Amino acid sequence: MNNPMNPRPTNGNWQATLPAEWTIPYVDDSGREQQIPLRDHPSLQHYKTKDEAVKALVHAQRMLGKTPEGYVRVPSKDDNPEDRDAFFASLGRPNRPDEYALPEIDLPDGYEVQEALLEQFQVTAFQLGLTAEQVAGLYQWFLPVVLETHDGMEKEKRQLRDNELASLRSVHRGDTPRRLDEALRTAEAIGGNELLRALDETGAGDRAPVIAAFAKKAPLVLESGMRGSGDGWGEELSREKLREMMQDPRYHDPIKRDPKYVEKVRKGFETLYPGDYVPGSRL
């Protein structure tokens, strides 16, 4: 152990001349912080003499609060718009959003990018201050990713639809097409086009339990309205019957047209398809 009255030999190392009681916090390679003598701090090894270290300290003190050479402050949203535009233009941003040149990308058949989406993409990039090169690179990467994701989702939907249809076929066998038709007509009769759109948009219309539920309701919704004594029907009403009646000259021939007969056909549609009815739309 060194005697305080006899400091350890310096061997030309000026750091060793610093008092041992001068300590400083130091974080080692393991991330642990500890107090070490200042003379043992690794940063002092960059200076050959004590004079160099002192000069570096004075220079660092002078630089505090000053803007380093080459430093450019990024404008904030609260700055003058003209200053922001000048800054982004200096980096390579076009003068207007529509001046971004988007690269040509070969799209699969049946795909096209909506103009409104492209315009919004350019406007957003302009607001963010992106350069022309950045926007081109981002677009060239992003669009194929979107297409791949969309194709994957469509593939999953088709697979789900096929699985659900296979489930129905395993139960109804050759009667499956009729059950599908009954389910569709029942859903339309109950909720009209709005319900059909909801079933399509949510994918519920492709699920076997939903189809089976509507098909089970078909006798109540469709067949219960096929015997219309109150509407002047003395025979069973069906879609095929209505088709046959529309071929009658009393319905389609302007010269032989019979208003009472036409009205009977119209009421037949209303009975068979209650709700949102458009003449001739369901044949």
pLDDT, one tens digit per residue, over 67-86 is 666 566 677 777 788 888 88
Shortest CA distance to 268 belongs to which of 234, 237, 224?
Answer: 237
Give 181-235 pLDDT, tens digit per residue: 888 888 888 888 888 889 888 888 889 899 988 888 888 887 654 444 334 444 4
Q: What is the pLDDT of residue 134?
A: 94
Q: What is the pLDDT of residue 171?
A: 84
Shortest CA distance to 264 belongs to which of 255, 244, 282?
Answer: 244
Helices (H) and strands (E) in the chain, counts: 9, 2
Q: What is the pLDDT of residue 235?
A: 47
Give 114-173 pLDDT, tens digit per residue: 889 899 999 999 999 999 999 999 999 988 888 888 788 888 888 888 888 888 888 888
Residues 6+ apart with CB under 8 A from 98: 119, 122
pTM: 0.41
Residues 6+ apart with CB under 8 A from 227: 233, 236, 237
Q: What is the pLDDT of residue 109?
A: 79
Largest separation between any pair of C-alpha atoms in the chain: 133
Q: How far apart are CA 253 and CA 193, in angstroms?
A: 30
Q: Does an H or E element contain 23, and which?
A: strand 23-27
Q: How far apart are CA 203 and CA 224, in angstroms?
A: 29
Residue 12 phi, psi dihedral angles, 5° rounding:
80, 0
Task: Answer for the pair 129, 155: CB distance below 8 angstroms, yes or no.
Answer: no
